């Protein structure tokens, strides 16, 4: 993904893995050797399974059983996902 940044610099978002003291991009960068770049690190948020489960439980908080059943029926009805134009 590319985006314009200040000072006529082009930003490109890529994923990389940090391994043995080196960032290793997961795709070809197509840069000349010794090209200087600016890196911004965005670490993924890591939740424990219990935190994830608790967050999902909060989705239905305050809903009656009938409302939960209706929400789940809508979510499971695949005909609503990709409506085809007539």
**53 assigned to some structural domain:** yes
Q: Is residue 64 part of a domain?
A: yes
What pTM was computed for the model? 0.42
| Inside any domain, residue 56 | yes
15 has pLDDT over 60: yes
- Residue 2 maps to a domain: no
Which residue spans within the chain are E strands per DSSP?
2-5, 9-12, 16-19, 22-25
Residue 54 pLDDT = 86
Rg, the chain, Cα only:
22
Range of the domain at 57: 49-80
pLDDT per residue as tens digits for the range 23-80: 999 999 989 999 999 999 988 888 888 888 888 888 888 999 999 999 889 888 877 6
Cross-strand pairs, 22: 19
Per DSSP (E only), the strands in 8-63 are 9-12, 16-19, 22-25
**Is 37 within the bounds of a domain?**
no
Domain assignment present for 27? no
Domain count, the chain: 1
Whether the CB-CB separation of 37 and 31 falls below 8 Å is answered with yes
């Amino acid at each position: 993904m590319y985006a314009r940044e200040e000072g006529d610099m082009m930003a490109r978002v890529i994923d990389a893995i940090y391994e043995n003291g080196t960032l290793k991009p997961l795709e070809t960068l197509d840069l000349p050797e010794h090209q200087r770049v600016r890196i911004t690190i965005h670490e993924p948020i890591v939740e424990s399974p219990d935190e994830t489960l608790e967050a999902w439980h909060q989705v239905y908080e305050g809903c009656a059983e009938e409302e939960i059943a209706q929400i789940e029926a809508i979510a499971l009805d695949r005909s609503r996902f990709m409506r085809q134009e007539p």
